[in-house]
Amino acid sequence: MTKYNKGDADNQSAPNSKDFIEMTGEVMEAMPAATFKLAMESGHEILAHLSGKMRLNKIKLIPGDKVKVQISPYDLTKGRITYRF
């Protein structure tokens, strides 16, 4: 019987919490609660919310802005906006 420790490098079956897809897109529409509808470069439309650091630094977005988005591999229709170009 083999025991696995939490720090065991061989037990990598579950993705890390920092595993995400990073893409760029354009803001199409501002929605309530710091949520935005984005058009991705790949042609998909997703809903994304502002990251905490963008909220703290009061970075505003308007339709037409180019942004960098982190998308979870589990749900490709939702994301987090991390940077405005």
What pTM, to 2 d.p., does this model score?
0.77
**What are residue 56's phi and psi, to 5 degrees?**
-65, -40
Instruction: Outline where 1-85 has alpha helix (H).
Output: 52-56
Contact 39, 31 (CB under 8 A): no
Q: Which domains does the chain have, with CATH numbers?
A: 21-84 (2.40.50.140)
Q: What is the DSSP string of 11-35?
A: ---SPPTT--EEEEEEEEEEETTTE
Residue pLDDT tens, the chain, 85 long: 555 455 555 555 555 557 899 999 999 999 999 999 999 999 999 999 999 999 999 999 999 999 999 999 999 999 999 999 9
pLDDT confidence of residue 7: 55
Q: What pLDDT was estimated at residue 18?
A: 74
Handedness of CA 74, 76, 82, 83 (dihedral sign): positive
